Amino acid sequence: MEVLRPRSLAEALVVRAEHPEALAIRGGTDVMVELNFDRVRPEAMLDLGEIQELGGWAREDGLLRLGAGLTYAEIEQGELASELPALAEASRTIGSPQIRNRGTLGGNLGTASPAGDALPPLLVDEAEVEVASTARGTRRLAVREFLVGPKRNVLEDDELIVAVLVRPSGSSQTFMKVGPRNAMVIAVCSLAVAADRERGEMRASFGSAGPVPGLVRVALEDSGDLPDAVAAACSPIDDVRGTADYRRHALRVLARRAVDRCLAA
């Protein structure tokens, strides 16, 4: 095994193209578990930790450009927390301080777990993922097109996740998650809801209740229908963290509370 450590995004894309088998790592909160437990033995590791361009966030053409290396600790506080309240709330529920200091938004998209806590907020915010390669340059896809199955996304072998683009939310929005304790929990189920008054609709996205996080829309005046719409749209399974029936029931309850919370704000 070798560790490739590019120092710039341009260099990283060249290295990525030359080593399609390399396993990309930045925060390591998912990847290192796989390595530590002998579940993967890649020929090479591609360390993205030294690439400044992947860090931080900026405003760009009325959008927020969130670097793929932005950590949950950075999202959960300050200006971003008021611009993207649901994403900030979700970030606060992730792991522990140690995990939030390392885990990244790009990593959540790369892992593409149905339980990825950042994903439902990105879906209700209609965020886009920017990916890049040396061969084809940059492309942007909606998050719901990027995620295609449990732990599966459409990233090609020669591509890297570079950023997430999202419009600062004018909507009142929230995130809720069910689990056995507040910290260190993989969601039994999760829900992000946004009341978009400008477009007259409510959007809800659920996690851990289907192969990919799902997105549901209802007209704002029909917000009372949202709980049933979420329960109908989800497709949970029985597993070690909960039953399908429980997840569907919990999502209906969360949706009702989330609607109340969003419309009261």
Q: Which is nearer to another protein, 36 or 61 (CB)?
A: 36
Residue window 40-79: x/- pattern of binding to another protein, with contact defined by CB under 8 A = -x---x-x-x------------------------------
When binding is defined by CB under 8 A, the residue of 8, 10, 18, 33 that contacts another protein is 33
What is the smallest separation between the CB atom of 27 and another protein, expressed in angstroms?
Answer: 8
Q: Where are the beta strands (DSSP E) in the chain?
A: 2-4, 23-25, 44-47, 57-60, 63-67, 128-133, 137-142, 147-149, 152-153, 160-166, 172-178, 189-196, 201-207, 214-219
**Which residues face 174 on adjacent strands?**
193
Residue window 121-140: x/- pattern of binding to another protein, with contact defined by CB under 8 A = --------------------
Kindly state whether residue 182 participates in binding another protein, applying the rule CB under 8 A. Answer: yes
Contact of 129 with 161, CB cutoff 8 Å: yes
Q: Which is nearer to another protein, 186 or 254 (CB)?
A: 186
73 alpha carbon, distance to own chain's centre: 14
Q: Give the other-Cβ count within 10 Å of 239's Cβ.
A: 11
User: Residue count at the site for another protein (CB under 8 A)?
Assistant: 27
Residue window 78-117: x/- pattern of binding to another protein, with contact defined by CB under 8 A = -----------------xxxxx-xx---------------
Contact of 126 with 142, CB cutoff 8 Å: yes
**Calpha distance 217→256 (Å, rounded):** 14
Q: Which is nearer to another protein, 98 or 243 (CB)?
A: 98
The one-letter amino acid code at 196 reads D
Kindly state whether residue 3 participates in binding another protein, applying the rule CB under 8 A. Answer: yes
Contact of 70 with 102, CB cutoff 8 Å: no
Residues within the interface to another protein (CB under 8 A):
1-3, 5, 25, 27-29, 32-33, 35-37, 41, 45, 47, 49, 95-99, 101-102, 182-184
